[in-house]
Amino acid sequence: MTSIHKTVLLNETIEGLNLKDGAVVLDATFGGGGHSFEICKRYPNVKIIALDQDKNAWETAKNKFKNQNDISFINVNFRDLDFSEKFDGIIFDLGLSSDQLENSGRGFSFMKKEPLLMTMKANPSPEDVTAEDVVNTWSEKSLADIIYGYGEEKYSRRIAKGIVEARKKSKIENTFDLVKIIGESVPASYRKQRLHFATKTFQALRIAVNDELGALEMGLEKGFNALKSGRRMSVISFHSLEDRIVKNFCKNLKLEGKAKLINKKPIITNKEELRINNRSRSAKLRILEKI
Question: 59-111: per-residue pLDDT in tens?
Answer: 888 888 887 778 999 999 999 888 888 999 999 999 776 565 666 688 999 99
How far, in Å, CA of 204 to CA of 143, rounded? 9
**What band does 3 get if pLDDT is binned at 50, 70 and 90?**
very low
Please tell me the number of Cα atoms within 13 Å of 55 on its side-chain side: 4
Q: Report the mean per-residue pLDDT for the chain.
A: 91
Cβ 107 vs Cβ 133: under 8 Å: no
Under DSSP, is residue 185 helix (H, G, I), strand (E, B) or coil? helix
Better-predicted residue by pLDDT, 12 or 96: 12
Section 121-135 average pLDDT: 88
Work out the burial of residue 146: count CB atoms within 10 Å of its CB; fewer than 13 is exposed, 13-18 middle, 19 or more buried: buried
pLDDT for 99: 60
Q: Outline where DSSP puts E strands in the chain.
A: 24-27, 47-51, 71-74, 87-93, 227-237, 259-261, 284-290
How far, in Å, CA of 86 to CA of 80, rounded? 16
Cβ 158 vs Cβ 166: under 8 Å: no
Under DSSP, is residue 147 helix (H, G, I), strand (E, B) or coil? helix
pLDDT for 103: 63
Domains and CATH numbers, the chain: 10-97+212-290 (3.40.50.150), 100-210 (1.10.150.170)
Tell me the pairing of strands 87-93 and 227-237: parallel
Section 122-151 average pLDDT: 94
**What band does 210 get if pLDDT is binned at 50, 70 and 90?**
very high
pTM beyond 0.85: the answer is yes
- Residue 211 is given by DSSP the state T
* Sequence-distant (≥ 6) Cβ neighbours of residue 169 within 8 angstroms: none
pLDDT at 123 over 80: no
Section 132-149 average pLDDT: 98
pLDDT digits (tens, 9 = 90+) for 213-272: 999 999 999 999 999 999 999 999 999 999 999 999 999 999 999 999 999 899 998 788
